[in-house]
Amino acid sequence: MKLRAALAGDCAILAEVHAAAFETGWNHADIRQLLGGSGAFGLVAEIEDGRLAGFVLARVIAGEAEVLTLAVRAEQRRRGVGRALLAAAQRLAASTAEAMVLEVAADNAGALALYEAAGYAAVGRRAAYYARRSGAGADAIVMRRPLNR
């Protein structure tokens, strides 16, 4: 697996991966806008054949980093892709940020396990934050991890 910076030309494939990973996926324009935002950066993970396995979008603002999204193709999950992307984003952010925060759906056990293993702790909860097709929203767990340990 190889990690590299996300490029503007990647937005269409990033949108495809995001849509497959989440009930409410972001489109090409959403991702392009986020990547072009102040303090934003993205990383992609490519597997041996050059296919995109996953990506992370993050930003650093006022000394705090935020994971905007992390998505991994279903067939690449539980192979270290998410862990590698998260660790690389943390390393990049650590030069200018004291901590990294993120929001994760309370019903996403795999993501919660990933973030807890990476040293994130729950610091808040947002009720019914994520839309679900069923109509009932899923709570978001707000998590935080110091970066300069």
pLDDT digits 0-9 by tens, 38-57: 999 999 999 988 899 999 99
* Short-list 6, 1, 145, CA closest to 70: 6
What ranges do the domains of the chain cover?
A: 2-146
DSSP line for 8-75: GGGHHHHHHHHHHHSSS---HHHHHHHHTSTTEEEEEEE-TTS-EEEEEEEEEETTEEEEEEEEE-GG
Residue 22 identity = F
pLDDT tens-digit series, residues 86-102: 999 999 999 999 999 99
pTM over 0.85: yes
pLDDT at 24 over 90: no
Fold of 2-146: Aminopeptidase (3.40.630)
Average pLDDT over residues 4-23: 94
Average pLDDT, the chain: 93
Identify any residues that bridge with 148 across adjacent strands, giving them in sequence order: none
Residue 32 CB-half CA count within 13 A: 9
Residue 57 identity = L
Q: What are phi and psi of 111, to 5 degrees?
A: -70, -40
Q: Is 134 exposed, middle or buried (0-12, 13-18, 19+ CB in 10 A)?
A: exposed
- In this prediction, residue 25 carries a pLDDT of 81
Percent of the chain scoring above 70 in pLDDT: 99
